Amino acid sequence: MSDKERTHFGFKEVDKEAKASMVADVFHSVASRYDLMNDLMSAGIHRIWKRFTIELSGVRKGHSVLDIAGGTGDLAARFADIVGPEGAVVLADINESMLKVGRDKLLDSGHLGNLEFVQADAQYLPFPDDSFDCITIAFGLRNVTDKDKALRSMLRVLKPGGRLLVLEFSKPQNALLSKAYDAYSFKVLPVMGRLVANDSDSYQYLAESIRVHPDQETLKEMMEDAGFTRCEYHNMTGGVVALHKGIKA
Partner 1 sequence: MTATIDPALQTAALAALETAINQALALAPGSREQLARLGDCVFALHCTAPPVDAFLMPGRDRVRLLGVYEGPVTTSVRGVASDFAELATARDPAASLINGRLELHGDSAPLLELQKILAGLEVDWEAPLVDTLGDVAGHQLAQLLRGAWGWGRQASSSLGRQLEEFIHEEARLSPPRLELEDFYKDVQALGLRVDRLESRTRRLRKRLQQLRA
Residue 159 binds partner 1 (CB under 8 A): no
The DSSP secondary-structure symbol of 32 reads G
Least distance (Å) between residue 241 CB and partner 1? 8
3-class DSSP state of 123: coil
The C-alpha atoms of residue 42 and residue 62 are separated, in whole angstroms, by 32
Q: 12 vs 51, which CB is nearer to partner 1?
A: 51
Could you tell me how many residues of this chain bind partner 1 (CB under 8 A)? 17
The C-alpha atoms of residue 9 and residue 115 are separated, in whole angstroms, by 32
Q: 196 vs 236, which CB is nearer to partner 1?
A: 236
Tell me which stretch binds partner 1 (CB under 8 A): 12-20, 120-128, 137-145, 232-240. 232-240
Type and span of the H or E element at 74: helix 74-83
Least distance (Å) between residue 86 CB and partner 1? 16
Beta strand 115-119 with 132-138 is unpaired
Least distance (Å) between residue 65 CB and partner 1? 15
Residue 56 and residue 165 in contact, taking contact as beta carbons nearer than 8 Å: yes
Least distance (Å) between residue 148 CB and partner 1? 27
Interface residues for partner 1 in 48-87 (CB under 8 A)?
48-49, 51-52, 55-56, 58, 60
Least distance (Å) between residue 187 CB and partner 1? 23
In this structure, the dihedral spanned by the alpha carbons of residues 173, 49, 201 and 12, taken in order and rounded to 10 degrees, is -50
Alpha-carbon 104 to chain mean position: 19
Number of other residues whose CB lies within 10 A of the CB of residue 229: 10
Least distance (Å) between residue 232 CB and partner 1? 10
Residue 230 binds partner 1 (CB under 8 A): no
Q: 5 vs 81, which CB is nearer to partner 1?
A: 81
Convert 148-158 to b/e letters by CB count within 10 Å (16 or more is b): eebbbbbbbbb
Tell me which stretch binds partner 1 (CB under 8 A): 40-48, 134-142, 186-194, 198-206. 40-48
Residue 234 binds partner 1 (CB under 8 A): yes
Q: 46 vs 103, which CB is nearer to partner 1?
A: 46
Residue 90 binds partner 1 (CB under 8 A): no
Least distance (Å) between residue 236 CB and partner 1? 4
Q: 37 vs 241, which CB is nearer to partner 1?
A: 241
Q: What is the DSSP string of 79-104?
A: HHHHHTTTSEEEEEES-HHHHHHHHH
Contacts of 220 (CB under 8 A, 6+ apart): 231, 232, 233, 244
Interaction site with partner 1 (CB under 8 A): 45, 47-49, 51-52, 55-56, 58, 60, 234-238, 241, 243
